[in-house]
Structure 1
């Protein structure tokens, strides 16, 4: 599902603006007005109301010559309006498992979750015509889980973007979740795909992003071996 699909779903005006800031990052009132189909002044008034509720905040951002531009972004309270998968309970359970049962048990639970995800994603990607379709289907599967994901072409590869992390508190408490997700993506996309995480919410970025490209090593390696084999001794 693309960000446009998400933005076109029924919701209140306030929620629509919050969603635009969540999926597009910091925006001016004019940009938000254009995306929402209202005037810049109407957007500014809505943003002022959201700011009064502590959900958004404005900051001056230099943009070329002239006065700085006012750019709006979500506050922590604004981000909290999106699904958190029972964050406090999850964090407490992780800490309890770690202290009472040990790190090995926690690792086994993460591995079991990863195995279930791999099976579900493999089924969702089955029959894909190419890597682009695989990435698109993976984004759809992740969106259904609350990650607000989208896929897009980038150069000779693709970009998988996740605008929200419904397990952010759990992932912060235990980095094993993030490592397992990266390994899962690499496995379900296949050996021909190279997957690199380029942005990470847990590290302070606005979103998680993965650069996905065809892995040319698998094609070039046999040629290099053949060249050595054919070289006269």
Structure 2
């Protein structure tokens, strides 16, 4: 599970008590975290002085922030001659805590892809970058899919995607399955550069051994990225050993020729029957 996905899970607002929202506890807690962001690692006394709170109130908010993995306690670094006694504890933001505040990673990624597009080969260069990025990311997905039974490969892929932060699930559909990704870490970038989504779809198709269809994407404004996998993807014996995807025919070319000849004879007999019935039904009628 990626660091980003862990942070988002821990920042879920679904479990915030109503009394906490009503009394402004969350707002004050955010002020404590923001003060640490603005001033760096801080002691309880530092925070109390800056925010006009009692040290007991600051400690209570810090305990909650530590529990949510937003801040962590450290020993204060001492430069120069150390005084007697235990060094004071300071509280600093964790990586998850920093991610809770505004970041410009999406802007940076879009700027980088725009530079590639304008200076290194246009849209084809962006597509090549997207494919190369996805190929490196897909190695773990390939291992998961190959280790699964044919009937559970979509589910195995969903679990591998979830471990990468995509919150994916697999569910049955009338003529196949749907792979649903409820989160997309690169949605804002993919909104500008859909080549990222296209490269991902190509990888899914190759991993599952069938043509897949992307029905919806978060980057396009949909609530969930949805990919349709036809039922044929899990039909045993539908792919040759060489991976060509062609249905094998028992008996070789001779058997195939016999099958074709029999099918032609059946079609001829059917046509003759229809013609005979048509002649009988029109016998004795006035052509006018």
TM-score (norm: length of structure 2): 0.48
Larger radius of gyration: 2
How far 1:198 sits from its partner (Å)? 2.0
Q: How has the CA–CA distance of structure 1 residues 175 and 83 changed in structure 2, closer, same or farther, with 3 Å as cutoff? A: farther
- Note the aligned Cα RMSD (angstroms): 4.3
Distance in 1, matches of 2:168 and 2:150, equals 19
Distance in 1, matches of 2:101 and 2:180, equals 17
Structure 1 SS opposite 2:222: coil
Q: How has the CA–CA distance of structure 1 residues 106 and 48 changed in structure 2, closer, same or farther, with 3 Å as cutoff? A: farther
Q: How has the CA–CA distance of structure 1 residues 228 and 84 changed in structure 2, closer, same or farther, with 3 Å as cutoff? A: farther
2:121 corresponds to 1:125: no
Q: How has the CA–CA distance of structure 1 residues 204 and 123 changed in structure 2, closer, same or farther, with 3 Å as cutoff? A: same
How far 1:225 sits from its partner (Å)? 8.8
Say whether the 8 Å CA contact 1:84–1:166 is kept in structure 2: no
How far 1:83 sits from its partner (Å)? 11
2:226 corresponds to 1:206: no
Deviations 1:95-137 (A, max 9, x none): 1111111223323222212322343321121221123x21122
Distance in 2, matches of 1:165 and 1:148, equals 8
Q: Which has the higher contact order (CA 8 A, sep 6+)?
A: 1
How far 1:184 sits from its partner (Å)? 0.8
1:57-68 correspondence runs (5 A)? none
Say whether the 8 Å CA contact 2:178–2:228 is kept in structure 1: yes
Deviations 1:193-228 (A, max 9, x none): x52222211221111112223128969977999754
What is aligned with 1:215?
A: 232
What is aligned with 2:132?
A: 112
TM-score (norm: length of structure 1): 0.58
Say whether the 8 Å CA contact 1:171–1:202 is kept in structure 2: yes
Structure ranking higher in strand proportion: 1
What is aligned with 1:140?
A: 159
Q: How has the CA–CA distance of structure 1 residues 111 and 221 changed in structure 2, closer, same or farther, with 3 Å as cutoff? A: same
Aligned residue pairs: how many? 175
What is aligned with 1:66?
A: none
